[in-house]
A and B are shown apart, each in its own frame.
Chain A
């Protein structure tokens, strides 16, 4: 249980956001409720609030990303922070600088928040352990381990459509083995007491012992989708696959691709989600991705609000507690 103590302070408030696992339900709901308020800000004439004015956010991306980096950047800017984007794979590390040296240099520039994406599991934890006490770390995806803000924006999106988690069935379909998103989603859904969480994938794309997380395992898509309220499709992570896990993309689509016909087996009001980027014709058919049940673009919009909530909540705990003054 080292993660929760590293990410929550003695007062129980968030100091870093590294993983959803072990997050107490009130903390998770505080993030969702705060995001709900930020959603209104993005619909106004001036889409900014002054909360993080004078703070510096460094997007530290050791792995490529478009959506996550852009929405983190937009979230920070809407909180009035200054943002620096560093794609480290193309920068200093290539010249031989160590991670800790990179970190020290960024701290010397008075950074307040590090948003970290790294191909190695535990990278964000490592940085949180070694950064200065006033610096907050937000995990934007580490290896196969966790992607907390993605899971939070997903449960946020679900809650806006299906507010009662204890009455819904959620199916997570696809490359569970390589997916940090799936792991974080399962933890978030479990914390919110979701009635049933299913994982649907070919045996080769399921991690051993996944049942221990409390999910129901299906290796047949039609059975896995029967009666579900939420379908979360995952991308085939070809860049993380080693060895012959699949016969071919076409074969995968035939068995696990979400088509209009397959969608018929789900609840009539089921919503379809995908964390992106979508591989059309591999895990999902275009007509479903662009169809009436799809909330995929809503997820992107909600991602900005969730990231604003995460940044403002962790920055708000860097300070002494005081009393409210009218």
Chain B
């Protein structure tokens, strides 16, 4: 097992990269949306780094997963809540770990059921590779190459720490 503790430093860099990314695209007004539970922690942390005052939206994508017919309904953490108009908004979607891309596919579908966003920017703390769908993040905190049997898990929210677990 390996533990990474300098999450605040990584988050600071991510906030800077996100600002630059949005500036380049001419976006000044945007809404942060985190995917429960880890993505929500990261979204709140970015909100603090960026001095962003709008409420952070939260998505629980259980109703949009593509594995429902294989494993059924996942226990829900919290209902989804986007406390703002999605229509024509620039959305910054935040998750902790980007892996197969299936969670992001589900999250995009759910966001579109709230309205048609002007754009969606994807921010992730960790990109561990292993994509099964054509999805890429715009801002990545950390790239980790992991074999399929390994897991990376974010604990938090205070303090945030990343653990890499190897299957025995």
Interface residues as binary, A286-326 with B (CB distance below 8 Å gives 1, 0 otherwise): 00000000000000000000000000110111111111111
A36-B79, A51-B68 are known contacts. Are A325 and B74 too (CB-CB below 8 A)? no
Stretch in contact with the other chain, from B10-18, B23-31, B45-53, B99-107: B99-107
**Which of A39, A46, A312, A326 sits near B113, CB closer than 8 Å?**
A46
Q: Could you say which of B1-9, B57-65, B134-142, B156-164 contacts chain A?
A: B57-65
A residues near B115, Cβ cutoff 8 Å: 45
Q: How far is the CA of A6 from the CA of B103 in the complex (A)?
A: 34
Taken together as a complex, chains A and B put the C-alpha atoms of A321 and B78 apart, in Å, by 23
**Nearest residue in A to B62 (C-beta to C-beta)?**
A37
Is B143's CB within 8 Å of the partner chain A? no
A40 adjacent to B81 (CB under 8 Å)? yes
Bound complex: CA A115 to CA B160 (Å): 46
* Residue B80 interfacial (CB < 8 Å): yes
Q: How far is the CB of A48 from chain B (nearest CB, A)?
A: 7
Q: Mark B91-116, 1 if CB is under 8 A from A, else 0.
A: 00000010110110000011011110
Instruction: Determine the chain A residues whose CB is within 8 A of the CB of B100 once the complex forms.
Output: 325-326
- Residues in A neighbouring B102, C-beta threshold 8 A: 325-326
Whole-angstrom CA separation of A44 from B60 in the bound complex = 14
In this assembly, does B69 line the interface, its C-beta being within 8 Å of a C-beta of chain A? Answer: yes
Give the CA-CA distance A30 to B74 in the complex, in Å.
Answer: 11
- Decide: A49 near B79, CB < 8 A? Known: A44-B114, A313-B73, A326-B99: no
Report the contact-size class of chain B (Cβ under 8 Å from the partner): 20 to 34
Contacts of A318 in B (CB 8 A): 72
In this complex, what residue of A is CB-closest to B116? A45
CB distance from B73 to the nearest CB of A (A): 4
Chain A residues lying within 8 Å of B71, measured Cβ to Cβ, are 316, 319-324
Contact-residue bracket for chain A = 20 to 34
- Assembled-state Cα–Cα distance A315/B63 (Å): 13
Q: Is B168 an interface residue (CB 8 A)?
A: no
Does chain B have a CB within 8 A of A50?
yes
CA distance A321 to B87 in the complex (A): 37
> Are A37 and B114 neighbours in the complex by a CB distance under 8 Å?
no
How far does the alpha carbon of A51 sit from the alpha carbon of B63 in the complex, in Å? 6
Q: By CB atoms of chain A within 10 A, which of B64, B73, B115 has the most?
A: B73
Chain B residues closer than 8 Å to A219, beta-carbon distance: none
Please give the distance in Å from B82's CB to the nearest CB on chain A: 8
Known: A44-B114, A325-B102, A326-B103. A49 touches B64 (CB 8 A): yes
Q: How far is the CB of A78 from chain B (nearest CB, A)?
A: 10
Q: Assuming A45-B115, A312-B73, is B103 touching A50 (CB within 8 A)?
A: no
Q: Is A40 a contact partner of B72 (Cβ separation < 8 A)?
A: no
Given contacts A40-B81, A44-B114, A50-B64, contact A320 B73 (CB under 8 A): no
Given contacts A45-B113, A325-B67, contact A37 B74 (CB under 8 A): no
Decide yes or no whether A223 CB sits under 8 A from chain B: no
Q: Are B72 and A37 in contact (CB under 8 A)?
A: no
Chain A minimum-CB-distance residue to B130: A326
Which residues of chain B are near A320, meaning CB under 8 Å? Answer: 70-71
* A313 to B75 alpha-carbon distance, docked (Å): 10
Give complex CA distance A180, B79 in Å.
31
Q: B21 an interface residue at 8 Å Cβ cutoff? A: no
Tell yes or no: A259 within 8 A of B by CB: no
The CA-CA distance from A217 to B29 in the complex, in Å, is 62
Contacts of A13 in B (CB 8 A): 72
Q: Which of A36, A44, A316, A325 contacts B68 (CB 8 A)?
A: A316
In the assembled complex, the CB of B47 is this many whole angstroms from the nearest CB of chain A, namely 22
**Is B63 in contact with A50, judged by CB distance below 8 angstroms?**
yes
- Contact partners of B78 in chain A: CB under 8 A: 37
Across-interface contacts of B87 in A (CB, < 8 A): 45
Q: What's the least CB distance linking A28 to chain B, in Å?
A: 14
Other than the given A37-B78, A45-B113, A326-B100, 4 more pairs (CB < 8 A) read A46-B112, A317-B72, A324-B67, A326-B99
Q: Which positions in B face A, CB cutoff 8 Å? A: 60, 62-64, 67-76, 78-81, 86-87, 97, 99-100, 102-103, 109-110, 112-115
9 A-B contacts (beta carbon < 8 Å) = A37-B76, A41-B80, A44-B113, A46-B112, A49-B63, A49-B64, A49-B113, A317-B72, A326-B97
The 6 closest A-B pairs by CB, nearest first: A316-B72, A46-B113, A49-B63, A326-B99, A316-B73, A37-B79
